[in-house]
């Protein structure tokens, strides 16, 4: 929202406040995203657009955004979408799924909105294209290999909660840069800041980063998560423990591996999850 501090002739000694709420209304198509990235929005929906609580700003953007996803055919060695119930051709959260086939893409509408989008573009029929697309998706899934059973990890995370030595070891290489959270498609914590110039300004919401020491810093100076170990325990605990506990076992990680490939010190969330499992 935007705000403006105003003085009135009736009460010149006090500052009044004028507010202008701005709900986003731009229509957007995200084209060519990967399934792992879009799956994140299905996870946000369980938090920001539920029957119980709806965030009007998130909801407005979500309702005005459509996703055209391209199935992944060349997973990297940092990918582990198959660990968390997903896969290279997952259509969770998307509107149209494209699968690369000989001579183009097989397009499949996933939602009613996706159906409407496909009706707007020129497509050609190709005999046997569904079987070809299924084979492409199957081959990509096979490249990922076997996945460990991590269904016991949510419970074990809670058992490991008070073992700070364990979390200290798991965080030894971390330099608290926050890259892992800022590029994560399933991280959704935010901060609220007032930016003003003179008497007017705006209140904005920005992505926040739980790996930063400031994240839980309280006004008194006390910080309930004072070390890297406390913060990593929260990050991994939220994704693999508390969120699944609240949302029918769904893990708050799409296995995209972005945090693994971009961490400057090669902290690998898969290793932490497996160490929790093996405890
Ligand atoms: S990207 Fe790596 S070093 Fe940076 S905060 Fe995350 S785990 Fe720590
Ligand atoms: S693999 Fe890492 S970046 Fe990707 S969703 Fe999971 S925690 Fe986030």
pLDDT in tens, 175-227: 999 999 999 999 999 999 999 999 999 999 999 999 999 999 999 999 999 99
Q: Give the number of domains in the chain.
A: 2
- Report field, pTM of the whole predicted structure over 0.75: yes
- Domain hosting residue 72, numbered range: 28-143
Is residue 123 within 8 Å of residue 67, measured between CB atoms?
no
Q: Residue 76 to residues 34, 39, 179, 258, 261: CA-CA distances in angstroms? A: 13, 18, 19, 10, 9
Please give the backbone phi and psi of residue 66, each rounded to the nearest 5 degrees, phi first: -120, 150
Does any domain span residue 20?
no
pLDDT of residue 10: 87
- Judgement on whether residues 137 and 218 belong to the same structural domain of the protein: no
pLDDT of residue 129: 94
- Judgement on whether residues 272 and 161 belong to the same structural domain of the protein: yes
- Judgement on whether residues 33 and 136 belong to the same structural domain of the protein: yes
- Judgement on whether residues 54 and 135 belong to the same structural domain of the protein: yes
Ligand 2 site-directed mutation target among 185, 240, 259, most atoms within 8 Å of CB? 259
Buried b or exposed e, range 77-102, using 16+ CB within 10 angstroms: ebbbbbbbbbbbbbbbbbbbbbbbbe
pLDDT of residue 96: 98
- The low-confidence residues of the chain, meaning pLDDT below 50, are none
Q: Which of 143, 175, 199 corresponds to the end of one domain?
A: 143
With a Cβ cut-off of 6 Å, ligand 2 is lined by 184-186, 239, 253-259, 269
Ligand 2 site-directed mutation target among 174, 185, 231, most atoms within 8 Å of CB? 185
- Judgement on whether residues 187 and 228 belong to the same structural domain of the protein: yes
pLDDT tens track for 114-128:
999 999 999 998 899
With a Cβ cut-off of 6 Å, ligand 1 is lined by 174-180, 211, 263-265, 267
pLDDT of residue 84: 96
pLDDT of residue 8: 83
Does any domain span residue 65?
yes
- Judgement on whether residues 272 and 158 belong to the same structural domain of the protein: yes
Does any domain span residue 114?
yes
- Judgement on whether residues 210 and 243 belong to the same structural domain of the protein: yes
Does any domain span residue 22?
no
- Judgement on whether residues 122 and 71 belong to the same structural domain of the protein: yes
- Judgement on whether residues 239 and 190 belong to the same structural domain of the protein: yes
- Judgement on whether residues 174 and 269 belong to the same structural domain of the protein: yes
pLDDT of residue 7: 87
pLDDT of residue 266: 95
């Amino acid at each position: 929202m935007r705000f403006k501090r105003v003085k009135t002739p009736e009460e010149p000694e006090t500052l009044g406040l004028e507010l202008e709420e701005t709900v986003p209304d731009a229509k957007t198509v995200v084209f060519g995203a990967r399934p792992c990235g879009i799956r994140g929005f299905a996870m946000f929906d369980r938090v920001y657009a539920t029957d119980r609580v709806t965030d009007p700003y998130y909801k407005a953007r979500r309702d005005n955004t459509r996703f055209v996803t391209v199935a992944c055919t060349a997973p990297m060695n940092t990918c582990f979408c198959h660990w968390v119930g997903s896969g290279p051709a997952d259509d969770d959260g998307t509107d149209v799924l494209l699968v690369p086939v000989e001579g183009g893409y097989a397009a499949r509408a996933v939602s009613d909105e996706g159906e409407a989008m496909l009706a707007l573009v020129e497509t050609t029929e190709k005999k046997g294209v569904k079987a070809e697309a299924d084979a492409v998706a199957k081959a990509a899934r096979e490249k990922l290999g076997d996945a460990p059973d991590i269904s016991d990890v949510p419970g074990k995370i809670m058992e490991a909660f008070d073992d700070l030595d364990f979390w200290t070891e798991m965080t030894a290489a971390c330099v608290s840069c926050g890259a892992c959270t800022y590029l994560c498609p399933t991280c959704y914590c935010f901060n609220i800041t007032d930016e003003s110039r003179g008497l007017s300004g705006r209140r904005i919401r920005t992505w926040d980063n739980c790996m930063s020491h400031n994240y839980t810093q309280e006004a008194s100076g006390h910080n309930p998560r004072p070390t890297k170990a406390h913060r990593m325990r929260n990050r991994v605990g939220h994704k693999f423990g508390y969120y699944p506990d609240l949302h029918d076992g769904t893990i708050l990680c799409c296995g995209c591996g972005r945090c693994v490939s971009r961490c400057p010190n090669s902290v690998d969330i898969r290793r932490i999850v497996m160490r929790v499992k093996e405890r």
